[in-house]
Structure 1
Amino acid sequence: MRRQGEVDASNWFSDVKLDPRSAEPLYQQIADMIMYKILHHVLPPGTKLPPERELAALFDVSRTTAINAYRLLERQGWVKTRVGSGTYVERHAVESNGNSGNKGNAGQMPWTELFAARPQSPLSTILRDLVAAPLAEDNIALAAGMADPATFPIESMQRLFAERAGTAAPIDFGHIPTEGYNPLRHAIATGLAAKGIAATADQVMTFSGSQNGLYLLARVMLEPGDYVVVEAPTFIGAVQVFQGAGARLLSLPVSEGLNLALLEDYLIRYRPKFFYINPTFHNPTGRVLSERERHDLIELAARYRLVIVEDDAYGELFYHHPPPLPLKALDSYGGVVYLNTFSKLLFPGLRIGYLAASPTLINRLAMEKQYIDLHTSNISQWLLHVYLESGQLPLHASRVRSIYKKRRDALAQALRHYCGADLSFSIPDGGFYLWCRIERPVTARDLLHEAIKGGVSFVPGDAFYTTPESGEREFRFCFTSHPETVLWEGARRIGDTLRRMTKARRPAHSAVAVQPII
C-alpha cells in the first residue's frame, strides 16, 4: 500500500510498448524508457519507482527482466535502490548523465532543483499525452476529444486567405490590444447575441484556446487554499488548472441532476470563489442541464453572489434540437463568466478561445495576460474574423453535426452489438462523447490495460474525478475522430476484451495502474 501523497510512478509508463521482435533486449528497452522519462523530467528526482513485481506485470515480462532493467539503471547512476524501501530516481541523475562528454562535471546546472514547487499527480500530463502520443497504425484512439481532421475547413480558409490577405491593413499584423483583435471581438459579440447573450466587444476577450482562458482565470481569481466547486465528473483540464493554482476542489455529483441543496451547503460552509460547470453536452457525460435547472441555478447563484464559470465548448454540436439558452443568457446579476472555443467546431490548430464577462474582469485578465504572451496570434484572429464574416460557419456547423451524429449512432449500435449487457451508456444529444459504465466486475483501468494490447484506447473514468476511487467502472469514448467502420472495429475489440476478462474473472483492482493514452 502506498503512503498518502506518494506518487504512483507506474502511471507514467503505460504510453510505451515493448517490441519483442527488436534485437534490443527487453530489459534494455525498459531501462531506456525510464531513462528517457527521467531526462525529460516526467520522473523528477526522488520519485519512487514501481516495485520489481509491479514493473514486470506492467510490461508482461518476467521479474528477472525487471530486476535487470533496474540493475542497469543503477549501474549508470539513474536510480538508487534502498534496501527495505524501494528504487528511487537519483537526484543528480540528469545533471551527471545529461552530457556524455562531461560526466562528473559538477559545474552543470541543477535545473530540477531550481524549479518552483508544483502539485504533482499521476495525471498531471494527461492532456499533453492525449494530444501528443504517437499512434501505431493499428491503434484505434477513442481517448482524446478531437474533431476529425477530414472535417477541417482548410480549403475554405486557404481560399479566403489568398483572396483577402492583400487587402488587410498592415496594422492588423502589428501589435494589437491584449484583449484581442477588435473586429473579431465585435464578430463574437454578434454571434453571442444569437445565443441570447447581450455582450459588447469590450465584454469579450480572446485567448490561445479556452484552456488558456481557464489558466488566466485561475491566475487572477485563485490563491492557494481557495475553494472551487466543480462537477463530478468534470473536464480533466479544469481540474489540473485549479489544482495547479493551489485551490481546494469541492465535488458536485451530476449523475442524477444538479444537487442545488449540496451546492448551497458548499456556499454557506466554504464560500467558494466560483463554480465551474459544463452545462451543455457535458464533458465527459454528454448531459444537458435542463432549462428549469438553469433558472434554479442562476437564482441560487444570484442570492449568494456566486461566480459561475460556464464552459460551452460543445454547445453548437447538437444532433437534434438546439439546447437551452446558455447560463450567461439568463445572467441577472452579472456573475456568469462565459467561456467558449472554436477548436471543437472548426479545428484546434486555430488556438482561439474566448470569454464573455464583466469589463472589470476583462481588464484584470488583460493585465495578467500581457505578462504571458501580450496578445493572442494576430493571423489566427484575423483569419477567423474573415471566415466568420464570409458567413460560412453555419453551413460548416451543419455539415459536421451530420457527420458526427452518424458516428455517434454507429458507435452506440456497435457497442450494443458487441458488448450487450456488459456495458451501459446513454446516447447524448450532442458533443463528442459516450460515457460508459462497465456492468461486470472489471475496472476501467483493468479494461484499458487489456484493450491497449488489442489496439484500442480510451480515458478511464477516475481521471475525471477529484476524489480517489470514483468512476472506477466508468470510461469515456470519443466518437468524432474516426469513420463508422473504424468505430465498429473498436467496439468489436472492446467487446472481445470484456468477454475475455469476465471469463477469466480478473480481480476488479489490478495491481497495475494505467495512464490513459491515445
Structure 2
Amino acid sequence: MNADQLSAANNIRLNRQAKEPLYAQLYDALRSRIVNGQLAPDRRLPAVRVLAKALGINPGTVVSAYRELEKNGYIISRRGSGSFVQEGMADSLATDQAQIPYLPRLDATDANQHFIDFASYSLNPDRFSTSTFKQAVNHILDRDGGHAFVIEDEMGYYPLRESLAAELAQRWIKTKPQNIQITSGSQQAIDICARALIRQGDCVMVQNPTYPGAVDAFKACGAKVIGLNFNHGTLIDELEKMLKIIQPKILYLMPNLQNPTTNSLSRLEKARIIGLAHRHDFWIIEDDYGSGLAYDSNTLHTMKEHDPDDRIIYVRSLSQIFASGMRLGYLVSPTRLIESFAGVKRIADISTSGLSQRIFDYYLRNRLWRKHLTGLKLAYHQQYQAAGKLLAESFGDRLSWQPADGAVWFWLQLNLSMTAAEFCTAAQNLGVLIENGDRYYIHAAPHNRIRLSLAPVKEADIAVGIKRLAELVSQ
C-alpha cells in the first residue's frame, strides 16, 4: 500500500469488544472521512486485502464495509481498477456550505427597515389585478355558495383538471384530467413524487446547480443526491458516464429556463435524455419552473410533449406566476403512479383549497389567465431589459451573466475579490436582499455566484437597489 492509500487507514481504530460489528465501525470511519473531505471525490480506496492487513481484520469485513458504502452511494467500484470515492454526493458538502441559510433572514432589529428584496420568489403584489380577482370570487360565491369551501377530492377539483388538460393541449402536452393532480404549490408536487417513489438509499440525479427545495425533499426521503454539472455540452456526457456505474431512481431537471442558471436544453438534448431514461429505466421529474413568463413560450418545448414510455412526471407551479400566497401547482402523473401520488397527497394535507382551485378554473375558462400572463410577460420583459442595462453600466466587467429570454432573475458571476457570502452580507447592511448562489450547488460551489430576482421588486426600487449594490465595488 503506497503512502497515499495508507493515509486512508490512518487513525482508524476498531473496537473488537464493542457490540457494533467491525464492518459497521469501518463503514462509519470511512464514511466520516468522505463527508468531511479527508477522502476527496474520485480518491481510490486501498485494496481489500491491503486495508485488511493494515487494520488486522478479515478481508470479508472490508468487503462488507465497502459494499455498504457503495450501496449508500459514497463509493463506486470500477471493474479491474478498485473502489473510488463517489463524485458529487450531497453528503460531501463542507459543513459551512451545508449551513447556507435558505433565504436571507431578518432579525427583530430589522423589522422597521425598508429592504429592497431581490431574494424572494414571490411576484410583486402590484402586478396582480385585485378587481379581476374580486370578480372571480364574487362569481364563484354567487354560483356555488357554501359549496365553494368544501374539501375537494385529493386529486383536485375536477373542472379545474379539465381546464388544465385543455390548457396543456395548447402546449402540445396530451393528457387527461384523470392524470392531473392538483397540489399546494410545486414544492408539494416534488415532495409527493419523492415520498411515493424513493426508498432509503435510492439515487436521485439532479442538475448542479439546482433548486435546493427539491434536493431537500429527496434527501428527507433517504435519497442520495448526485449533481450533474449543468454546462452546455456537458450534462448529457456526465449523465451517460454516471449511468454506467449508478442506477438512479429519478432524474430531476428543469429543461427550460433552469433555476438558477436560466439555461435551457436543446430539443436534441431532451430527446437523448428521454432515450437514456428508457434504456436505464428511471423516472424523469420535469419541473417547468421558468417557462411561464417566457416571452416566446412556443420556442420552449417541454419534454412531456414526447413521452412514449409515460415515464415523465410534469410539475408546474401556478403560485410563481399567479398569486403566490394561494399556493397552487399541479403535476401530470404517469398512469401507473396516479394512485400512489393520490395516496401521498391524502396523507400530506387531504386536499388543496377548494376556493383557490375554483378561482383558477374561473380564470382559465374565462380567458383571464392569458390576459394576466400577457401583462406579466410584457412588464417583466421591460423590467429585465432595464435592470440588465443598469447592471452593465454600474458594474462593467466586475459582474457577468448569460442573458435569458424570459427569465425574471439574473444568475450573476462576481468578478471581485469578495465571495458571494461576503457580498450578500454587505448588501443586506445597505438594505438590499440578494441570494448567495452557493446554496443551489450539490457540490463544488464556486463561491462567486448570486441570484438576483426581479419578481418581487417594485419598478421604482430596481434602480435604487442596483445603485446600492454598485456602492459595494466602488469603495
Q: Pick the TM interval, shorter chain.
A: 0.7 to 0.9
Aligned mate of 2:329, from 346, 353, 375: 353
Mapped contact 1:153–1:346 kept (Cα < 8 A) = no
Q: What is the identity, as a one-letter code, of the residue corresponding to 1:368?
A: V
1:56-455 correspondence runs (5 A): 123=99, 126=102, 129=105, 136-168=112-144, 171=147, 173-320=149-296, 322-455=298-431
Q: How many Å apart are 1:266 and its aligned residue?
A: 2.0
Deviations 1:125-160 (A, max 9, x none): 625959x99765432111112211111232212112
> Is the partner of 1:434 in helix, strand or coil?
strand
Mapped contact 2:104–2:119 kept (Cα < 8 A) = no
Deviations 1:287-333 (A, max 9, x none): 12122221222222222222110001221211346333100001121
Q: How many Å apart are 1:190 and its aligned residue?
A: 0.8
Mapped contact 1:140–1:486 kept (Cα < 8 A) = yes
Q: How many Å apart are 1:448 and its aligned residue?
A: 1.1
Identity %: 27
Structure 1 window deviating more from structure 2 (268-277 vs 252-261): it is: 252-261
Unaligned 5+ runs, structure 1: 1-118, 501-518
Name the CA distance, whole Å, in 1 between partners of 2:194 and 2:100. Answer: 17
Structure 1 window deviating more from structure 2 (316-325 vs 148-157): it is: 316-325
Mapped contact 2:103–2:435 kept (Cα < 8 A) = no
Mapped contact 1:447–1:498 kept (Cα < 8 A) = no
Matched residue, 2:473: 498
Name the CA distance, whole Å, in 1 between partners of 2:297 and 2:180. Answer: 27
Matched residue, 1:18: none
> Is the partner of 1:476 in helix, strand or coil?
strand
Name the CA distance, whole Å, in 2 between partners of 1:357 and 1:137. Answer: 45
Name the CA distance, whole Å, in 2 between partners of 1:480 and 1:431. Answer: 10
Please give the TM-score of this superposition, normalised by the length of structure 2.
0.75
How big is the alpha-carbon RMSD for the aligned residues of Structure 1 and Structure 2?
2.3
Mapped contact 1:434–1:478 kept (Cα < 8 A) = yes
Mapped contact 1:148–1:482 kept (Cα < 8 A) = yes
Mapped contact 1:204–1:356 kept (Cα < 8 A) = yes
Q: How many Å apart are 1:487 and its aligned residue?
A: 1.4
Q: What is the identity, as a one-letter code, of the residue corresponding to 1:456?
A: V
Q: What is the identity, as a one-letter code, of the residue corresponding to 1:497?
A: L
Name the CA distance, whole Å, in 1 between partners of 2:104 and 2:243. Answer: 33
Mapped contact 1:407–1:480 kept (Cα < 8 A) = no
Deviations 1:361-382 (A, max 9, x none): 1210111221222111111111
Q: How many Å apart are 1:124 and its aligned residue?
A: 7.8
Matched length = 380
Matched residue, 2:455: 480
Mapped contact 2:211–2:440 kept (Cα < 8 A) = yes
> Is the partner of 1:327 in helix, strand or coil?
coil
Name the CA distance, whole Å, in 2 between partners of 1:318 and 1:279. Answer: 13
Relative to structure 1, the CA distance from residue 128 to residue 276 in structure 2 (aligned partners, 3 Å threshold; closer, same or farther) is farther
Structure 1 window deviating more from structure 2 (145-154 vs 119-128): it is: 119-128
Q: How many Å apart are 1:428 and its aligned residue?
A: 1.1
Name the CA distance, whole Å, in 2 between partners of 1:124 and 1:472. Answer: 11
Deviations 1:18-75 (A, max 9, x none): xxxxxxxxxxxxxxxxxxxxxxxxxxxxxxxxxxxxxxxxxxxxxxxxxxxxxxxxxx
Name the CA distance, whole Å, in 2 between partners of 1:128 and 1:420. Answer: 26
Relative to structure 1, the CA distance from residue 471 to residue 450 in structure 2 (aligned partners, 3 Å threshold; closer, same or farther) is same
Name the CA distance, whole Å, in 2 between partners of 1:255 and 1:314. Answer: 17
Q: How many Å apart are 1:360 and its aligned residue?
A: 2.2
> Is the partner of 2:321 in helix, strand or coil?
coil
Mapped contact 2:421–2:436 kept (Cα < 8 A) = yes
Name the CA distance, whole Å, in 2 between partners of 1:212 and 1:304. Answer: 27
Name the CA distance, whole Å, in 2 between partners of 1:197 and 1:286. Answer: 22
Mapped contact 2:113–2:431 kept (Cα < 8 A) = no
Relative to structure 1, the CA distance from residue 369 to residue 128 in structure 2 (aligned partners, 3 Å threshold; closer, same or farther) is farther
Mapped contact 1:266–1:272 kept (Cα < 8 A) = no
Q: How many Å apart are 1:258 and its aligned residue?
A: 4.9
Q: How many Å apart are 1:403 and its aligned residue?
A: 0.6
Deviations 1:371-408 (A, max 9, x none): 22211111111111112111111111010001111111
Q: What is the identity, as a one-letter code, of the residue corresponding to 1:270?
A: I
Name the CA distance, whole Å, in 2 between partners of 1:174 and 1:458. Answer: 40
